[in-house]
Amino acid sequence: MRTVRRGDRGPAVTEIRGILTTLQLLPTDGGPVEFGWLVTEPVIDFDEAVERAVRAFQQSRGLSVDGEVGAETWRALDGARWHLGSRALYQAIPDPLVGDDVRQLQERLLEMGYDVGRTDGVYGARTARAVAMFQREVGIAPDGACGPHTLNALRRLGRKVIGGRPQLLRETDLFRQSGPGLVGKTIVIDPGHGGPDLGVVVPEGRLRWTESDIAYDLAARLEGRLAAAGMRVHLTRGPTPTAELSQQDRAVLANELGADLLISIHLDGYANPAADGVATYHYGTGSGVTSTAGERLAGLVQREIVARTGLRNCQIHAKTWEVLRLTRMPAVRVDVGYLTSPTDRAKLIDPHFRERVVESIVAAVQRMYFPVEQDVPTGSIDVSTIRAITSMPVPAAP
Ligand SMILES: [Zn+2]
């Protein structure tokens, strides 16, 4: 189509104005205007307001901003009419379906951990493949097309994971809206292993150190500190559970509680006793899909523990483990040192050291709720004051 620009009028301009109005970039057109006895139709042309709206639209879509509607801008405007559910989507060849509904579908699939490549709003082969994988998982014939059944399944399932790069802003907003206080927020602490599953076991003389006991001790201390700060804290297991709890059971529990955060606590173990240090894990795949809030929490936990305990920094890593993948809230797992390392073990069996680990995690949780621009240096929060930070001063009665 030919480029439509300032000063033009006609059906193309009417259509462009209509779309911009629907997108709320342009105020609604007025009805007929009455001048005494003369009733005129409003003038529909490409005026200054339309040009401004086109510029705003181009900016929001990452197009070159010239205020004119050429082929590229027209395709984007045309695609912006569609919302997920307003038409059936499928892989059309050779002219693929393009639109905001396709982009919404791609973002949704990406959030759920499917590889859609770029969320470009084009229903190509990769999108069709991701839809087919989703369909197979929910028991729908995997035709790679997104019709009413698939849409219902997408709606019903909600978000399996929070995250994905496109969600960064939304997640940040969510945390900002929830305020800096910890009061009333729900956190699930997941001590690893338990029951018959002892995790890493290291005999030492007549003693026997187990990962499951130390992880539980850390979790119970953390529970006390976070509850004192006003959080609702749930542990996934007690000190001596009779049965093993699967990763999936732990994730389901956290989802059912509607937790805001989940922290899973483990220790590491390795054949070579020289291996030592702390590592923290968040949800993510090798292809760049990641839980942004999870990654942030992992970074905070990792940095606070390294700064406050001196354990070797084994960095943060993206993993698709079930407890990270199936949880709907930002979730991390921290492996607090190697039980098989004599250096780490000597620290871990000292209750004062474990208290420092717990303080590190409390500081990380608090920083998770600070707006990014108000964040504080690692190691600087005195966690004994957290109660004061979280409660707003109450004005005295007159
Ligand atoms: Zn473990």
Q: Measured in angstroms, how far is the CA atom of residue 333 from the centroid of ligand 1? A: 9
Q: Measured in angstroms, how far is the CA atom of residue 362 from the centroid of ligand 1? A: 21
Q: Measured in angstroms, how far is the CA atom of residue 297 from the centroid of ligand 1? A: 19
Separation of alpha carbons 238 and 206, rounded Å: 25
Separation of alpha carbons 343 and 288, rounded Å: 35
Separation of alpha carbons 306 and 300, rounded Å: 10
Q: Measured in angstroms, how far is the CA atom of residue 268 from the centroid of ligand 1? A: 6
Q: Measured in angstroms, how far is the CA atom of residue 264 from the centroid of ligand 1? A: 9
Q: Measured in angstroms, how far is the CA atom of residue 265 from the centroid of ligand 1? A: 8
Q: Measured in angstroms, how far is the CA atom of residue 210 from the centroid of ligand 1? A: 10
Q: Give the pTM.
A: 0.58
Q: Measured in angstroms, how far is the CA atom of residue 246 from the centroid of ligand 1? A: 12
Question: By the 8 A CB rule, do 25 and 58 touch?
Answer: no
Q: Measured in angstroms, how far is the CA atom of residue 303 from the centroid of ligand 1? A: 20
Q: Measuring CA to CA, how many Å separate 144 from each of 98, 124, 133, 157, 241?
A: 16, 10, 8, 18, 44
Tens of pLDDT along the chain (398 residues)? 689 999 998 888 988 998 998 888 888 765 555 555 555 556 678 999 999 999 988 887 767 788 999 888 888 898 888 888 888 999 998 888 888 899 889 888 877 777 776 677 889 998 999 999 888 878 889 999 999 989 988 887 654 444 333 344 344 445 555 666 788 899 999 999 999 999 999 998 888 999 999 999 999 999 999 999 889 999 999 999 999 999 889 998 998 998 999 999 999 999 999 999 999 999 876 555 666 788 889 999 999 999 999 999 999 998 878 888 778 788 999 999 999 999 999 999 999 999 999 999 999 999 888 766 667 788 888 877 665 444 444 444 44
Q: Measuring CA to CA, how many Å separate 175 from each of 169, 170, 171, 264, 369?
A: 10, 9, 6, 20, 6
Q: Measured in angstroms, how far is the CA atom of residue 319 from the centroid of ligand 1? A: 14
Name the E strands within 151-231. Answer: 186-191, 201-204, 207-210
Separation of alpha carbons 132 and 129, rounded Å: 5
Residue written as token pair 């004005």: 395
